[in-house]
């Protein structure tokens, strides 16, 4: 109040103001009718709380056996109705849809996941028993660079396998294996390494990548410090004791161009007894695979943007680091739930045409590679009135704590929702925040928007 020289108003019953708002929204929805021919009085509320003291209800707890997460579930049984709480994936026990609204664009997260991991996760995939096997942790920059590294290692004559998707076991492995207190994604990476060790791979590949390609050579493009040193931290973890020789850790500077990368990987190839020409050919094919992957994403993204524009539909752009926004085990599958539960059209940041987008007016020295991408994506969102931002990050991310303050400016003043994950397995709090944000942007009042369009 002192700084803004404004009066602060505290509404009456502020402790239950959220409940009052929910009641008003329910009343508004009932009055709208959603095409129902019944009168207001005939539409009876389905809320069960009015007579709960008169109703027989029971609560029991059990462990869900549906997947490796083994979630602790609470079942609430009211007469013949059952509801469930506590499941991490929210798919086995809870009602899928929370709205009749359906997305009008394809599932871009599923498209990207199949493009990235499809051939490695294929059930009928067979490994060549005559080849050595290299394991790549399904963590960190694998979510960006797998087309490059997978192609490179395959062309060198290795079987390439991935650790299993993030789950409760992987998470616990990671928490138990770290020797410091890093951010959650680094803990997960340790868990993925342990999974590969248990699978008996011949080598584990964790490159020491310092930076990324950039079209703005006057500004650096570093990866985060923990991401750069991950391979060395893992090497000194108890899980690698006695098997340090299995860890492959070339140092790579993608920002310095193809020729530098070739030389660096040729040096790495020497340690495996590989011919220089073979390594160079593998690098060439790896660059082509990465380019093909990124081109496919951009093509789908352009189609999605056109559909939303043509249909005057709202959309959410998910920004953040690839290992935060695409690892559904780490982010509780929130991007998928936005689509499945609320009918939201969701677009990840690397489906947007960010190449060449200047951010110097927002930050003149954005030396973090992901920071640049996030702000470039935010700038694009600022040009589309129908797009809004959800920023997915993780606890203890130093660069993100700095980058977030520039997102609203980059997006032309648009407020955004930030979701910070740290390994907790319950999605209820995140979904509540998502619902509030979506409602504030008009996503959950789509029936009113349709009525307005019809009236026009």
Query: How is the chain split into domains, by residue range?
Result: 54-85, 112-119+131-294, 312-456
pLDDT digits (tens, 9 = 90+) for 324-347: 999 999 999 999 999 998 999 999
Q: How far apart are CA 37 and CA 257, in angstroms?
A: 66
The beta-carbon contacts of 149-154 under 8 Å, at least 24 apart in sequence, are 149/205, 149/207, 149/286, 150/120, 150/289, 151/282, 151/285, 151/286, 151/288, 151/289, 151/290, 152/265, 152/282, 152/283, 152/285, 152/286, 153/205, 153/282
Q: Give the angle subtended at the CA of 242 by the CAs of 271 and 149, to the nearest 5°.
A: 40
**Angstrom distance (rounded) from CA 184 to CA 330:** 9
- What kind of architecture, by CATH, is found in domain 312-456? 3-Layer(aba) Sandwich (3.40)
At 420, is the secondary structure helix, strand, or coil? strand
User: Helix 17-32 vs helix 446-455: angle between axes, to the nearest 10 degrees?
Assistant: 40
Contact 389, 319 (CB under 8 A): yes
Q: For residues 54 and 2, what is the distance between their CA atoms, to the nearest angstrom?
A: 51
What is the pLDDT at residue 4? 81
Output DSSP code: residue 54.
Answer: G
pLDDT of residue 378: 97
Q: What is the pLDDT of residue 1?
A: 64
Instruction: Judge whether 357 and 376 are in contact, CB under 8 Å.
Output: yes
Q: Cβ(425)–Cβ(71) under 8 Å?
A: yes
Pairwise CA distance, residues 305 & 311, whole Å: 10
Per-residue buried b or exposed e for 68-86, using 16+ beta carbons within 10 Å of the residue's own CB? ebebebeeeeeeeeeebbb
Cβ within 8 Å of residue 123, ≥6 positions away:
none
Structural Rg of the chain based on CA atoms? 25
Is 389 in contact with 414 (CB distance < 8 Å)?
A: yes
CB 368 within 8 A of CB 222: yes
Low-confidence ranges of the chain (pLDDT < 70): 1, 33-52, 67-69, 87-98, 425, 446-456
Handedness of CA 316, 317, 321, 325 (dihedral sign): positive
pTM for the model stands at 0.81
User: For position 297, what pLDDT does the model report?
Assistant: 98
Dist. CA 270–CA 263, nearest whole Å? 11
What is the structure's pLDDT at 447? Answer: 46
Total H helices, total E strands in the chain: 15, 13
């Amino acid at each position: 109040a002192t700084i803004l020289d404004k009066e602060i108003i505290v509404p009456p019953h502020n402790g239950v103001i959220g409940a009052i708002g929910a009641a008003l929204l329910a009343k508004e929805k009932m009055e709208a009718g959603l095409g129902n021919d019944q009168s207001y009085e005939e539409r009876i509320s389905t809320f069960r709380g009015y007579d709960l003291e008169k109703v027989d209800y029971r609560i029991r707890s059990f462990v869900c056996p549906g997947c490796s997460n083994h979630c602790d579930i609470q079942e609430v049984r009211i007469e013949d109705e059952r509801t469930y709480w506590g499941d991490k994936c929210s798919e086995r026990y809870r009602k899928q849809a929370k709205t009749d609204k359906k997305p009008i664009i394809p599932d871009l997260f599923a498209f990207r996941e199949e493009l990235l991991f499809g051939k490695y996760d294929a059930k009928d995939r067979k490994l060549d028993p005559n080849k050595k096997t290299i394991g790549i942790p399904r963590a960190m920059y694998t979510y960006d660079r797998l087309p490059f590294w997978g192609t490179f290692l395959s062309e060198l004559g290795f079987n390439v396998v991935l650790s299993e998707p993030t789950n409760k076991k992987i998470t616990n492995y990671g928490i138990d294996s770290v020797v410091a207190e890093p951010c959650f994604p680094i803990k997960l990476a340790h868990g993925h390494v342990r999974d590969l060790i248990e699978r008996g791979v011949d080598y584990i590949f964790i490159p020491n990548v310092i930076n990324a390609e950039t079209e703005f050579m006057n500004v650096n493009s570093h990866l985060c410090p923990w991401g750069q040193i991950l391979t060395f931290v893992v090497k000194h973890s108890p899980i690698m004791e006695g098997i340090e020789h299995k860890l492959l850790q070339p140092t790579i500077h993608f920002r310095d161009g193809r020729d530098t990368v070739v030389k660096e990987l040729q040096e790495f190839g020497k340690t495996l007894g590989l011919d220089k020409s073979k390594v160079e050919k593998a690098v060439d094919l790896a660059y082509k695979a990465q380019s093909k992957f990124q081109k496919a994403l951009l093509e789908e993204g352009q189609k999605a943007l056109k559909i939303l524009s043509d249909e005057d539909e709202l959309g959410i752009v998910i920004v953040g680091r690839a290992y935060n926004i695409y690892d559904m085990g780490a982010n509780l599958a929130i991007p998928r739930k936005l689509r499945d539960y609320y009918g939201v059209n969701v677009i990840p940041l690397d489906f947007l045409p960010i190449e060449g987008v200047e951010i110097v007016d927002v930050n003149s020295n954005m030396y973090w590679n992901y920071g640049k991408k996030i702000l470039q994506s935010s700038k694009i969102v600022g040009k589309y009135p129908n797009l809004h931002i959800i920023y997915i990050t993780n606890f203890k991310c130093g660069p993100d704590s700095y980058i977030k303050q520039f997102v609203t400016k980059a997006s032309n003043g648009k407020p955004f929702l930030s979701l910070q994950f740290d390994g907790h397995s319950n999605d209820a709090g995140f979904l509540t925040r998502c619902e509030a944000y979506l409602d504030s942007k008009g996503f959950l009042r789509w029936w009113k928007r349709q009525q307005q369009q019809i009236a026009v």
